[in-house]
Amino acid sequence: CSDKTMIRFSKPEHKKAHLRVLNMNGQVLKAIDDIREDHVVIEKGQLCPGLYFFQLYIENKLSKKGKFIIKGH
């Protein structure tokens, strides 16, 4: 079981991107700002097993959204 999840996306060079991880209630649990690469690695850290959603913004516009599952040990 990995302690990381990678999300890949495409974005124009020099554009600002940020990502939000939300729980099932829509609460933001993690925020990753100033993403410069074409991917972001989410450290599962304190996230409990369950279903989570992510929202990727490029230049403050929603560009991609999705979900991922964290499995229990």
pLDDT band at 70 (very low <50, low <70, confident <90, very high): confident
At residue 73 the predicted structure's pLDDT band, cuts being 50, 70 and 90, is: low
pLDDT digits (tens, 9 = 90+) for 10-46: 888 888 899 999 999 999 999 999 998 889 888 888 7
Bridge partner residues of 56 (DSSP): 19, 64
